Amino acid sequence: MTISKLAAALLLGAAALPAHAAITFTGFLTVPGNASDLSGLTPSGANTDRLSFGSDLVYDKATDTFYGMTDRGPGGGLESFQPRVEAFKVTFGANNAPVAFALQKTVLFTNAAGQALNGLNPLILNGDVSTLGNSFDSEGLVRMKNGHYLVADEYGPSVYEFDANGKQVRAFTTPANLIPKTAGGAVDYVNGRPTIQTGRQDNRGFEGLTLSNDGTKAYAIMQDPLVNEGLNPPSNTDAQGRYSRNLRIVEFDVASGTQNAQYIYELESLSTISAGLSPTFSANQQGRSIGASSITMMPDGTMLVIERDNRGLGVDDPNGAVQIGTKKVFRIDLTGATDVKNISLAGTNTLPSGVTAVSKTLYIDVLAKLGMAGMFPVEKLEGLAFGPRTSTGGIMMLIVTDNDFSVTQTGIFGNQTDVCTSGQGGVSSQVAIDGSCPTGQSLIPSYIYAFELSGADAVAAGVPEPASWAMMIAGFGMVGGAMRRRVTRVTTSVAA
């Protein structure tokens, strides 16, 4: 291809450009687990102002600001907490390694009347499993052009719009087939199978959210298959999503807040993930312990999805003792995929004749990248965003982790503990929430993993400014030959 033709292709966007393995891990930041945010809530502690931001991630190029978000808070819906957005900046140093984290702002979520939303599950908060009320498990985040936030909630599953100050503006209409219901048709937002027989699995609702490039459509991805869309092969009677690979992506019309379509995304098979793994995953972990964590729109209309298992350093495995199966990012394309909003996959693990899932190709094996750097990844990789351009014409990509506030999730209301650890391969302990960790141990931090995309990967991630075209074109000849860089580890304190 001549230079003039390549420049023309760049003007048309990245759709015609192939993806290349030009993604370099440049380093990581750790934000201490006991850091405080800027909410101003008192007294200081896990239930008020403890900083956690890795449930999703977006980037605002105009202000060079990243926006991360909490999930429902400490204790996994068993401790009172007001979900929120955290705005922060990341400074990059030598070899584009992240070297500093600076918190800019904290935005608290409220309902339309200005009352605080709460991470407590509906039964604890409202005394009724069928009433969402102010219960809110924020998981997917989009920042709109007008400064508003679109947020995917896992309890419903729901999608809400909030203004720039965190006040709810409206709720999208949740498709009926996703709402958890009992055999008698009663709505139940708290319990799992066998109480609920249809709809999303408990704690497996919307996990990620992204917008189309023109802002007219939103895409919400489920973490796992619906509770009724799967089948235990040996028995052929136990129909549940834990055995299935087929989860749903919902396309919403932003203007009306109603669905346009649903598409099937197929998780990696356990046979692939478990190859050489010890211990392996059991059959009923296919659609439960493997799942999607985020979805991010690309300029060409394809999307990136984080897919991961539930293993790694976290509150359930604070020393990383269990071997990890998968932490990957896949690039997906909805072109040619079947709209399944009116098609049920109840009682089957296979797609019906004529139904085509979204196409899917490996974008980056995060586990392999970190392993090459001698690192053991944490459990919950949950947010991905493209950041600023580098001096060499590349683009930064950050993946953030959800540390669950370093608090247990044992299923006992109001009886959780802080999790302290000395790190991978070390020792750990549990102490009262806001207590002191033993000497040599600390709360699980939040991690920011940084990658530099170069060559065609950088073009595909974001069409460059005209001044960068010549640099990008020259870089194509070096795709796949990038020198391995020294990985930089930075432990940082929060700068208010």
262 close to 341: Cβ distance less than 8 angstroms: yes
**So what's the pLDDT on residue 421?**
98
Q: Identify the CA nearest to 33 among candidates 487, 323, 431, 321.
A: 431
The amino acid at residue 75 is G
Is 32 a member of any domain? Answer: yes
Question: Is 122 within 8 Å of 135 (Cβ atoms)?
Answer: yes
446 φ, ψ to 5°? -90, 140
Locus of tokens 């005209």 = 466
Evaluate whether residue 34 is within a structural domain: yes
Residue type, 51: L
CA–CA dist 80, 83 (Å, integer): 10
Would residue 30 count as lying in a domain?
Answer: yes
Q: What is the pLDDT of residue 377?
A: 86
What is residue 10's predicted lDDT score, i.e. its pLDDT?
Answer: 30
Distance CA 254, CA 427 (A): 48
- The answer to the question of residue 254 being in a domain is yes
Residues facing residue 218 across a β-bridge? 211, 252
Residues 491, 359: Cα–Cα separation, whole Å: 38
Q: Is residue 496 part of a domain?
A: no
Contact of 193 with 201, CB cutoff 8 Å: yes
pLDDT of residue 234: 79
Taking the model in full, what pTM does it have? Answer: 0.90
List per-block mean pLDDT (blocks of 10 residues) for the chain, which spans 496 residues. Answer: 32 35 90 98 96 98 97 97 98 96 98 98 97 98 97 98 98 98 97 96 98 97 97 82 97 98 98 93 96 97 98 96 96 98 96 97 96 91 97 94 97 93 96 98 98 81 40 32 43 48
29 assigned to some structural domain? yes
Distances (CA, A) of 229 to 200, 222, 226, 260, 270: 9, 13, 5, 21, 17
Helix, strand, coil shares, percent, the chain, to 5:
10, 35, 50
CA 117 to CA 121: how far, in whole Å?
A: 11
User: In which domain, by residue range, is 382 found?
Assistant: 3-491
Token pair listed for 98: 């992240």
How many independent structural domains does the chain possess? 1
**92 φ, ψ (degrees, to nearest 5):** -110, 140
Q: What is the predicted pLDDT for the residue at 226?
A: 98
Residues 6+ apart with CB under 8 A from 489: 27, 28, 30
Supply the pLDDT for residue 376.
85
Q: Can you tell me the distance from the alpha carbon of 132 to that of 438, in angstroms, rounded to the nearest whole number?
A: 39
